[in-house]
Structure 1
Amino acid sequence: MTEDQMTQILLELTARVDALEDRAAIVALMTTYGPAIDAGDADAVARVWTEDGEYDVDTGVMRGHEEIRAMVRGPMHQGFVRGGCAHILEPGDVVIDGDTAVATCKSLLVTADGPGGPFTVARATANRWELVRTGEGWRCRRRVGRLLDGRPEARALLAGEDVDASH
């Protein structure tokens, strides 16, 4: 093997390791959302997004850290936390393009029906995460979620398409 061939192999391996590390960092970021929101930790939830990030769900659009924190601290989410809940996200499909990425996944909101259960799946949602590499690592620039209740917007998200903020 020549030195040029060895250099080429090392460059290819380095690129593959970098891609694997980026994917692992993105999945780790996405999966921090569930424990953070279930703990009611508004600051940890906000850190998933860029400062001007957007969270677009069928119940409304939140823009920026303050609106995301307000959602976590709001009566609906605090009711889930006090009653017992679990936000569960699958790792999903992650496509990285340089310093941006798009991840597509499904999530469940499971709530306790009372002390000790049983538990109910309150929501099943299709999600599109648009991510960007920042100085602090990967962050979500925009997350769109739509209920998996037959609506075409949810199917579009799972097919890898973007949907606008109109509901």
Structure 2
Amino acid sequence: MVTAQSSNGATINYAIAGGNINDAFGIERSTGRIYSAGTIDYELLQEYHLWIEARQDGNTPATAFAKVMIKIEDTNDNSPVFSSTQYDIDVMENRGFGTSIYTVSATDADSGVNGNINYILSGTDAQYFKVTSSGQIRTYTTIDREKVDKYSFLVIATDQVRCLFQLMRFQYI
């Protein structure tokens, strides 16, 4: 809220005179209370610099301006996005425990902790693999093609609130 005072007690009306990109904000004419009036997205613009006009009408009209800076805080409003919608990978058999076989990649448009991504594996075949915090998938056992020739599981990318699933299929040759 912005406030202005008149030396003679005249009524003061407020308006946004500049800096209101995409009409993101409004102001109550009689009180000076600033409110959000449109879509505000931290990923598009992190701060606004509004010029507020205080106008005194009447016998002695006067106008004053003030600059108001509004900093936008990021919310967790974006889900992680994988670089591919499905992964089909061929891997040589007899890879030992802990062998890196692939690295998945996801991004999140949110900032700071809201954009931190963790990976999780899910599904029956996921028990044979582990995923690191960087998306590197490793074997959790020695893989033998004669016993099982294909594995399929989900890779989940989560940012603590939102998550995205991608199917992974491995065929051992």
Q: TM exceeds 0.5?
A: no
Provide the TM-score with structure 1 as the length reference: 0.25
- Kindly indicate which of the two structures has a greater share of residues assigned to helix: 1
* Structure (1 or 2) with the larger CA radius of gyration: 2
Provide the TM-score with structure 2 as the length reference: 0.25
